Structures are given as C-alpha cells and as structure tokens.
C-alpha cells in the first residue's frame, strides 16, 4: 500500500486512478448529475465495458454489487486485479450470450474503478475525498440512465442485478418502466432491513475510526485507513457466507502459524479488498444501500412495485442470511410481471448469486429468451 501510484502520490487506496492501466474499460463523460439531496455532481465520468454487438433491441444491462465493477467478463491483467466476476454466466455461448446480446456493465456512481467517486479528481484538481456528496441508489440509476442515453440505447432487453445491483435494477424498472423489457432480481430486497443497516453501520465505523481515515481526506497522505477497510470486509464477508459452509470448510482447524483456518480465510479476503478498493467509496456505497427503499416517496413498497411492467424473475438463495428469502418472496408477490419466486440451492449464503453459475444462468437464460 505504500508503492507510488502513477501520479507520484503514495498508493493509499486500491482505487483505479488516472494514469493506471485502463484495461478493458471505456469512459464516457455524461455531464452533471442532479442528486436527490438537491446538490449537483459536476462532470461525471462513467467507466464501463461492453461485449457483443448492438442491433437496436438486444441490449442487456448487468449491474454489479457493492465491491464489484465493470469487469464482468475477462481475465486478470493490467488494470484488472480480479478476473471477471460473472465469467461463468456471461460470455459467448453462456446463459447471457454475448453472441446474441449486447451486454453493458458500468462501474457504479460513487465507486472506485473509473466512475466518478471519492478517489476521483474534483474540478479543482485535488481528489474529491471527504468532500464527495452523499448519494442514493436513485442517484446511481440517474448516472446509469445518462450513460444509457449516451450509448444510444432506448430500451433494455434485460436489466439484471444481484444484491446492491438488484437495488438499482428495481429502481430502473420502477422509475423507467418504459425502458426495461425484462428484469432479473437476485438476492435483493425492496428496502434495506434493520439488520442490514446495523451490519453496514458497523463496517462504516471500522473505517471512520481508523486513525488514518483523516475525515476522508487521506488520499494525499502517506497512509490511508487500510486497517479499517480490512476489518469492514471481514465483518461483511461473514454475512456473505453461511454458517454451515464455514463449519464444513474450516471447523476448528488450526494452521501451522497458530491461526484458526477461518481467521486466515478472513485475513485473505480483507487483504484482497484493500488492494483493489477505496475506503471512501465503501462508505459512500454502503450508505446509499442503507437508504434503499423503493417505497420512499411513492406510497410504500406495494405501490412502487406495482409500477413495474417488465417480465420479471426474482430469485433468492436458500442459505442467504444477509438477504433472506422472505425478502425476495415479498418482491415476487408484489411485482405484477413475476410468476413466482425461484430459490437457488447453495451452501454459500448470499454469495451464492455469484457462485451458483449453473442455477443462476438457467434462470437468466429463461428470462432473456
């Protein structure tokens, strides 16, 4: 975390920054985005990737979760520290077939992999850092809408999202029903629950209480809140997996270095996130997720979900303790175009929407046909 970045500043964040290898990213400047708070975020840049050829009616929008990015498909390489996060679902001949569909994935507004966020450059030439405004899921969709218009896409054949991506997919289908033909919601909810907010706020406290957080203005310092981000990821990762899986994989095994194997596992995932993510983005994005509530200002969840006109598949993970199946059952029961809840069987908890490629892919293919 101390090696110099391409600008000559200390590397105190895992964010992609100007001068880093671009990889497969493309960029579009979509102009100012008016935020729900009343503020305006100027000069927004969206980082995105595409696969396949656009024929006018075959575009599919894939929306990533909290710590994902636009790299849905592809290998590790310059600019991409991790392989595509849905390689087994998206691609030539896959369920979301890039030989049939024009697939688009953008880094989320407030993220840290090329789209405007806290680690991006403010118009004054310094990082946004702690000055980056609070944003909502609806603000993030507004930025994705601007990208959609810039790409010349009038209507999405499909909008697909899991977890935080499912929150945005819901907002797309509620706020812009005329632009969404098919909707796939995975392991998500109509509103963030009390437990989800509780877990999120604890992770946020781990970051803000790190002595190197500096009120969010650490990007030009010699050290950043790496320990806080590491701890936040460990807390989150416990919730992402299931108790039976952790017990089956690790039990009470102790490694030669004296650590419990499960502790080593959490150490590994904390280190990985610190190497590729930004603590400021983690705060901005989790706070947006905390505020997720499709019924806000719309007369409640039932009234909001009744606005959806898309043909819809809703899927839950049977072992998901972070977004339990009853939350997807609520969605399936209230969305007019949904024929019922599909349940994915998995030992992997919430992360089953990423891991269970065969089951998830079957549902996606059924919807998109």
Cβ(172)–Cβ(295) below 8 Å: no
The CA-based dihedral angle spanning residues 277, 280, 281, 283, taken in that order and rounded to the nearest 10 degrees: 120
313 φψ region: left (φ > 0), alpha (ψ -120 to 50), beta (else)? beta
Of 320, 342, 348, 351, the catalytic one is: 320
Spatial neighbors of 265 by CB under 8 A, at least 6 apart, are 249, 250
3-state secondary structure at position 223: coil
Separation in Å, CA 58 to CA 54, 62, 64, 314, 368: 6, 13, 19, 21, 10
Catalytic residue chosen out of the listed positions 71, 80, 97, 163: 163
- Strand pairing class (102-106; 59-63): parallel
Assess contact for 289 and 64: CB atoms under 8 A. Answer: no
| Catalytic annotation present for 154 | no
Using alpha carbons only, give the angle 157, 158, 162 rounded to the nearest 5 degrees.
170
Q: How far lies 312's CA from each of 47, 158, 333, 335, in Å?
A: 27, 9, 11, 8
Q: Do strands 311-317 and 338-344 pair parallel, antiparallel, or not at all (unpaired)?
A: parallel
Question: For residues 347 and 245, is the Cβ–Cβ distance under 8 A?
Answer: yes
Whether 212 sits among the annotated catalytic residues: the reply is no
- Catalytic entry in 64, 71, 292, 350: 350
CA torsion, ordered 200, 324, 344, 247, to nearest 10 deg:
70
Nearest to 75 by CA among 87, 66, 63: 87
The CB density around residue 261, as the number of other CB atoms within 10 Å, is 14
Query: Is 320 marked active-site?
Result: yes
Any idea how long the chain is?
369
CB-based burial, 144-161: b 16+ in 10 Å, e otherwise: bbbbbeebebeebbbbbb
The residues carrying an active-site annotation are 163, 320, 350
């Amino acid at each position: 975390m101390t090696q110099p970045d391409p600008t000559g500043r200390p590397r105190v964040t895992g964010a992609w920054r100007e001068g880093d290898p671009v990889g497969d990213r493309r960029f579009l400047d979509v102009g100012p985005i008016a935020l729900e708070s009343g503020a305006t975020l100027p000069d927004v840049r969206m980082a995105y990737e595409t696969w396949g050829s656009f024929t006018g009616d075959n575009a599919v929008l894939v929306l990533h979760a909290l710590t994902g990015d636009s790299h849905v498909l592809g290998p590790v390489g310059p600019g991409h520290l991790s392989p595509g996060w849905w390689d087994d679902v998206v691609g030539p001949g896959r369920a979301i077939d890039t030989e049939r569909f024009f697939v688009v994935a953008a880094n989320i507004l407030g993220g840290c992999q090329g789209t405007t966020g806290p680690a991006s450059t403010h118009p004054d030439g310094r990082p946004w850092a702690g000055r980056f405004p609070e944003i909502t899921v609806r603000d993030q969709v507004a930025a994705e809408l601007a990208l959609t218009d810039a790409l010349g896409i009038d209507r999405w054949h499909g909008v697909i999202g899991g977890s935080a991506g499912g929150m945005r997919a819901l907002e797309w289908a509620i706020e812009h029903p005329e632009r969404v033909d098919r909707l796939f919601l995975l392991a998500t909810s109509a509103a963030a629950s009390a437990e989800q907010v509780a877990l999120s706020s604890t992770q946020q406290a781990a970051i803000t209480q790190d002595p190197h957080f500096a009120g969010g203005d650490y990007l030009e310092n010699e050290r950043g809140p790496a320990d806080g981000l590491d701890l936040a990821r460990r807390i989150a990762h416990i919730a992402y997996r299931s108790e039976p899986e952790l017990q089956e994989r690790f039990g009470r095994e102790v490694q030669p270095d004296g650590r419990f194997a499960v502790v080593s596992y959490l150490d590994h995932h904390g280190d990985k996130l610190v190497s590729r993510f930004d603590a400021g983005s983690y705060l901005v994005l989790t706070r947006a997720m905390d505020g997720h509530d499709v019924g806000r200002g719309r007369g409640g969840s039932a009234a909001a979900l009744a606005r959806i006109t898309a043909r819809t598949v809703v899927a839950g993970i049977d072992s998901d303790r972070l977004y339990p199946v009853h939350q997807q059952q609520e969605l399936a029961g209230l969305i007019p175009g949904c024929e019922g809840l599909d349940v994915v069987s998995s030992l992997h908890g919430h992360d089953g929407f990423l891991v269970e490629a065969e089951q998830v892919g079957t549902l996606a293919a059924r919807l998109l046909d």
